[in-house]
Chain A
Amino acid sequence: DGGITQSPKYLFRKEGQNVTLSCEQNLNHDAMYWYRQDPGQGLRLIYYSHIVNDFQKGDIAEGYSVSREKKESFPLTVTSAQKNPTAFYLCASSNGNGLYEQYFGPGTRLTVT
């Protein structure tokens, strides 16, 4: 069953803790993306990667970090430096660049108190 998996679906953390969100795909896609979604804000790009061991900052990268050690995996770490980390985080992948459709995972809803 091909697709993108994100785990967990819900995540709760205390303020000041780093937390890593998982994203795995078995679609053999080269490109992977992380978005943050807040009510009324649409999708805001955090980081993206088009090849293993390479990634670029998106529009709101501050307070986040990523790695791309394997083609299938693109984990996102929300650090304690992120001022408002509570949000819905979506991972996506595509066969290439913006000329191709993106496939989204089910998302992780992170709550930091």
Chain B
Amino acid sequence: EVQLVESGGGLVQPGRSLKLSCAASGFTFSNYYMAWVRQAPTKGLEWVASITNSGGSTYYRDSVKGRFTISRDNAKSTLYLQMDSLRSEDTATYYCTRGGYWGQGVMVTVSS
């Protein structure tokens, strides 16, 4: 059974950093592109970043480019999202996703 379990969320002040993790199981992690998608409170879905199966290529939405870094450790079957210079508009539930599979999400709140 495919499982994606996010962790690392929490309350953080504007300008600070946070690193999210997504532990994958039930499939060969190194074979799949992965992505992060977020959802601000009461809002719709917004793609954040994607990474190829080898980690050799990464893609970001403009609003997080230069501040967020997506990465992966295929040996650990884990996806990461390093979030720096956080802003209040980054407040959202962050989901790890592989195609048709989504994690339960992790909440990130950016507030002073």
Partners in one complex: no
User: Which A residues have a C-beta under 8 Å from some C-beta of B?
Assistant: none
